[in-house]
Amino acid sequence: MNERLNKRFESDKRKRDIWRLNTSRGISPLKTISRDFTNRPGAGHKLMAVKMASAHSARGFGGSNNYIGGNYGMTSQYIGFRPKTNSSPGCFKNDYSNHYIHSGILPVRYIRNAKQQVEGYPKLQRLCRLKEQQIRKYATVPFGARVKTENMVKTLNSWVHNYHLQFDVIMIGALSENQLLYPILSQLPIDKLAAKPGFLFIWASTQKISELSRLLNDPSSWAKRFRRSEELIFVPVDKNSPYYPTEANIPEKQILEELQWHCWMCITGTVRRSTDKELIHCNINTDFAVENQSTGNSAVPNQIYEVAENFSNSTRRLHIIPTSTGLDHPVKMRPGWVIVSPDVILDNFNPERYEKELGAVGQRIPLTNDIEQLRPKTPN
C-alpha cells in the first residue's frame, strides 16, 4: 500500500515539474497532458478546459470582453478560467461569478441547452417533435377577443351564462408588472370558466409574489377551488431584454437582483397521471426556462405556452391578459388558444364559431402508440 502511494506521489510530482518547466519555456500545456487526458474515459471535459485555458493564458487572464460572445448560449467563449489550487495541474474551471463582476454579463447567458432542453436525449427529442406535430394538427384556429379592462368581467360572464363556455387550461397574466390587479382578478368568473378537472397558470414577478399568494389564498374568491401544484420560472438574460422587470430596482443594501418571473400552476378537481392520461399527459418540459433566440418578443414566451400544451391533452385553452401590455410586449395570436386582451392583434372571436372549431378537432388530442411508448409514465 505504501509503495503504491509513494509511486503515485512521485508520478504526480514529476508531472508538476514538467508542467512548470514547459510553462516557463512558453510551451503549450497541451503538448504534455493531452496524451494523458484523451485516453481516459470521462476526462474529455478536462481536455476541453485545458484547451480553452491554454488559449486564454496566451492572452492573459482577466475579464476582457474579447473572449465573450454577445449572443445566447455557450459556444466559443472563454469565461475567466483559473486553476484549481488543490487538485492536479491542468484542471481548470469556469468562474462565471468572477466574470460577471468584470463584465456585467449574467451567468444565465451561458446555459448551453437553454433552447433545446432535451439536447443529448434522442428519444426525448423525437417525443418533442411528435408532440409538436400532434398539437399543431389538433389545434383550433387562433382566436382573439379585444376587450377593455373595465369590460372584461362583464364579457367573460356573458360567455359563461349565454354560451356555457368552459376551458380545461386557463392562463392569466403576462410578463408585465401591471397584470396582477387584485380587484379585477378576484371578480373574474374563473371558477365557472374552468372545467373540472382543469388547470390554471397565473403569472407574477418576484416583486409581486406576495400579491399572487394573497389572491390564491383568498377564501372568498374563485381561488378556493384551486390548489397550487407546480411553479414555473422564467429568467431573462440581461437588462436589455424586453422581459426584464422594470420594477426590479435594487435596494441600496441588496446585492442580488430579483429578475425572474413566476408562473404558478394550479389544479381544480382530482387528476391522476397514471389513470387520467386523456387529460394530463406528457410532462416533459422543465420548470425552469431561460430566454433564448426562440423566445421571441410577445406577452408570454413560447416556452411557457409549450409547457401548458404538452402537459394537457385538452384543446380548450384560454389566456386572459387583464390590462394593456404596451408596445414592448405585443399580444400575438397562437393556434389552439383563445386570447382575451385589450391589445390582442386580431379580434375575431365568436363563441358559435369556436364551438364549431372544437367539434371539428375534438376536445381531446387522441393518443398514439408512438407517443405513448416514448412519454414518461407514472406507475399504476
What whole-number distance in Å separates Cα of residue 218 and Cα of residue 209? Answer: 14
CB 317 within 8 A of CB 337: yes
Minimum mean pLDDT among 72-76, 314-318, 372-376: which range?
A: 72-76
Task: Give this prediction's pTM.
Answer: 0.72
192 CB-near residues (< 8 Å, 6+ apart): 160, 166, 222
Q: Find, among 377, 79, 321, 354, the residue nearest to 185 by Cα.
A: 321
Looking at residue 162, its pLDDT comes to 94
* Cα three-residue angle 265-144-352, rounded to 5 degrees: 100
Comparison of pLDDT for 123 and 275, the residue scoring more: 123
Instruction: Give the residue carrying C-alpha cell 478546459.
Output: 49
Q: Which domains does the chain have, with CATH numbers?
A: 2-110 (no CATH), 122-374 (3.40.50.150)
pLDDT for residue 213 is more than 80: yes
Please tell me the predicted confidence (pLDDT) of residue 243. 82
Q: Tell me the average pLDDT across 24-37.
A: 46
Calculate the average pLDDT of the chain. 76
- Lowest mean pLDDT segment, chosen from 104-118, 233-247, 299-313: 104-118
Give the Cα separation of 326 and 371 in Å (integer): 39
Q: Is the pLDDT of residue 316 over 80?
A: yes
Least Cα distance to 96 among 110, 112, 81, 107 occurs for: 107
Q: Is 364 a residue whose pLDDT tops 70?
A: yes
Q: 243-265 pLDDT, tens per residue? A: 887 765 556 666 667 778 888 99
pLDDT over 90, % of the chain: 25
What confidence tier does 307 reach under pLDDT thresholds 50, 70, 90? confident
The pLDDT, as a whole number, for residue 47 is 37
> What are 55-91's pLDDT values in tens digits?
444 443 333 333 333 343 333 344 444 444 555 555 5
Q: What is the structure's pLDDT at 83?
A: 46
Rounded alpha-carbon distances, angstroms, from residue 202 to 256, 268, 288, 372: 25, 14, 15, 29
